């Protein structure tokens, strides 16, 4: 039997809350790095049992190339946090050259608040009754619906999420996964299977604070980011996000930050001052962004930014395999294309007014190199936009899904899009370029700039990004239809 609730682990004066991804010591929460926390969870699920270094490295780091020093560092952090003595340990014992053992008696109680983001309430790493190993998430190897696929495909490592932990605050990022292959740091950090008795991964959640004094942004007059402010690398090894100083004045400028999965802090990307709307090159070596009325690019490592073209107020951009960038110039334009080396943009589409189209925006290039998804708006305050498919060669397009915005393709064959703050998924045949079935909801409360306040605010863009390996990052707190009245008062 599999435990279907997350757990609280208690020992001495310490309480480890699996669901909240937190450690409470003598009644107070103490900060802990996500990887160290996951090492601790693995040990707590196997108290008084020898766990080899290889098991821990596989479980927490997967195929990420790290040495045993990374594990030793996490154990050292835990010992420091727990006031544990290396030579006379009360909690974590070292078995020389082999591994570690959690020596203390552990009380395990069911968390009355249930599981993390999984509608089934599955535990992160709770052991099955009568066994010593951590429990697997229920398998659904033959899952056919997007909802089943999203929750149970063990080979896809998804969906990982970065979510704003407070509904209308951008000071905290919560990182988690409904289905993960490991319990690693911030974003999808490894691809090897857990060394646990299951083909399926546990559920995980972490809470990570943004750099002091920063919030996700830039923000509109109502305190929400308008353009998508984050992008995850194709392999899920880092994210880039735009942030701005909290409580800043009208002259404050955002900055792009890079957070690698093997590091505990983000760093500003030199040369991206004023940058917003980050998007990555196919090889993840460059980040494109919008700043000072121009589309620009810079090295992921920072440097001298390169101006690509003018863009007064772009509504989305996507970097294709042919080294061109597709973008929308403003709220009432069609789609354009410009070389990633810079130059004069080429018009690809013009909204068909006879069909009620006023804007083409939020492009997303498909991996076939010949097609792109984009969003059609039928009016300035359209609350039910449509997702269309563009043939880049013929410049013809057709509607794929009604009431769908900011669609992305996810291997091995799904379209993921937003419908008024709800992330939806539908099977998609990349060869035939056709939707195969009906969309189903996957994740609620994803922030989306969709309301009837302003043409600029009503971009329909979502605060989410998905890697080719299936990791999802998102900002929580959907902006509901007509959420604000005049004066910005929330109703």
- Tell me: pLDDT of 480 over 50: no
Q: Which pLDDT score, from 0 to 100, does residue 5 have?
A: 58
Query: pTM higher than 0.85 for the full model?
Result: no
Question: Given a cut of 60, is residue 154 above it in pLDDT?
Answer: no
Q: Dump pLDDT digits (tens) for 215-260.
A: 777 666 555 678 899 999 988 888 999 988 876 666 788 999 998 8
What mean pLDDT value characterizes the chain? Answer: 75
Residues 456 and 230: their CA atoms lie apart, in Å, by: 19
Q: Percent of the chain beyond pLDDT 90?
A: 39
Tokens of 101: 């053992």
Least confident span in 10-14, 33-37, 266-270, 362-366? 33-37
The per-residue pLDDT for range 388-418, each reduced to its tens digit, is: 999 999 999 999 999 999 999 988 888 999 9
- Top-confidence range, 184-193, 201-210, 376-385, 447-456: 376-385
pLDDT at residue number 222:
55
- Give the range among 144-153, 374-383, 416-425 with minimum mean pLDDT: 144-153
Burial grade of 112 (CB within 10 A; 0-12, 13-18, 19 or more): exposed
pLDDT at 357: 94
Task: Tell me the pLDDT band of 488, cut-offs 50, 70 and 90.
Answer: very low
**Fold match between domain 7-134 and domain 210-474:** no
Least confident of 223-227, 251-255, 380-384, 419-423: 223-227
The whole-number average pLDDT for the span 351-377 is 94
CA-to-CA distance for 471 and 188, rounded, in angstroms? Answer: 6
> What CATH number has the domain spanning 7-134?
1.10.10.10
The more confidently predicted of residues 268 and 155 is: 268
Size (the chain), residues: 491
Query: pLDDT tens digits, residue range 90-101?
Result: 999 998 888 999
Please report which confidence band the pLDDT of residue 87 belongs to, taking 50, 70 and 90 as the band edges.
Answer: confident
Q: Does domain 210-474 have CATH number 3.20.20.140?
A: no
The listed range with the strongest mean pLDDT (77-81, 142-146, 243-247) is 77-81
**Mean pLDDT computed over 407-436:** 91
What was the pLDDT predicted at 63? Answer: 67
Is pLDDT of 6 > 60? yes
Cα angle 464-467-473, degrees, rounded to a multiple of 5: 30
- The full set of domain ranges for the chain reads 7-134, 210-474
- Given a cut of 60, whether residue 326 has pLDDT beyond it is yes
Say which residue the tokens 């989410």 belong to. Answer: 464
């Amino acid at each position: 039997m599999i435990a279907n609730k997350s757990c609280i682990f208690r020992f001495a004066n310490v309480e480890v809350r699996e669901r909240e991804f937190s450690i409470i010591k003598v009644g107070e929460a103490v900060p802990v790095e996500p990887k160290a926390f996951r090492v601790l969870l693995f040990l707590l699920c196997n108290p008084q049992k020898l766990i080899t270094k290889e098991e821990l490295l596989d479980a927490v780091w997967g195929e990420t190339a790290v040495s045993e020093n990374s594990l030793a560092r996490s154990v050292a952090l835990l010992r420091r946090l727990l006031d544990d003595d290396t030579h006379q340990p009360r909690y974590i014992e070292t078995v020389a050259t082999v591994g570690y053992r959690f020596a203390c008696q552990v009380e395990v109680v069911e968390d009355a608040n249930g599981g993390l983001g999984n509608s089934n309430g599955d535990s992160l790493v709770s052991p099955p009754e009568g066994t010593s190993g951590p429990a697997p998430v229920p398998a659904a190897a033959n899952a056919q619906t997007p909802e089943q696929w999203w929750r149970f495909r063990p080979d896809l490592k998804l969906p990982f999420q970065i979510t704003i932990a407070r509904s209308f605050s951008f000071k905290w990022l919560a990182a988690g996964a409904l289905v993960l292959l490991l319990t690693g740091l911030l974003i999808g950090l490894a691809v090897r299977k857990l060394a646990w008795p299951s083909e399926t991964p546990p559920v995980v959640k972490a809470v990570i604070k943004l750099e002091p004094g920063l919030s996700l942004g830039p923000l509109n007059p109502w305190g929400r980011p308008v353009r998508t402010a984050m992008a995850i690398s194709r392999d899920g090894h880092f994210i880039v996000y735009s942030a701005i100083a909290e409580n800043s004045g009208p002259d404050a400028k955002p900055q792009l930050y890079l957070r690698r999965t093997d590091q505990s802090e983000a760093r500003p990307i030199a040369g991206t001052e004023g940058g917003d709307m980050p998007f990555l090159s196919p090889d993840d070596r460059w980040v494109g962004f919008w700043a000072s009325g121009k589309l620009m690019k810079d090295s992921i490592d920072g440097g001298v930014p390169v101006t690509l073209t003018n863009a007064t107020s772009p509504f989305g951009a996507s970097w294709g395999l042919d080294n061109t960038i597709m973008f929308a110039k403003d709220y009432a334009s069609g789609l354009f294309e410009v070389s990633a080396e810079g130059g004069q943009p080429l018009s690809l589409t013009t909204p068909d007014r006879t069909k009620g189209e006023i804007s083409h925006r939020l492009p997303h290039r498909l991996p076939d190199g010949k097609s792109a998804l984009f969003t059609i708006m039928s009016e300035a305050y359209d609350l039910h936009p449509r997702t269309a498919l563009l043939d880049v060669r013929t410049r013809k397009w057709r509607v794929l899904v009604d009431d769908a915005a900011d669609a992305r393709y996810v291997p091995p064959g799904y379209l993921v899009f937003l419908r008024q703050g709800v992330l939806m998924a539908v099977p998609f045949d990349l060869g035939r370029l056709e939707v195969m079935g009906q969309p189903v909801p996957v994740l609620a409360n994803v922030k989306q700039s969709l309301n009837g306040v302003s043409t600029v605010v009503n971009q329909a863009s979502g605060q989410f990004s998905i890697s080719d390996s299936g990791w999802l990052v998102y900002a929580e707190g959907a902006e509901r239809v007509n959420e604000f009245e005049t004066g910005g008062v929330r109703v």
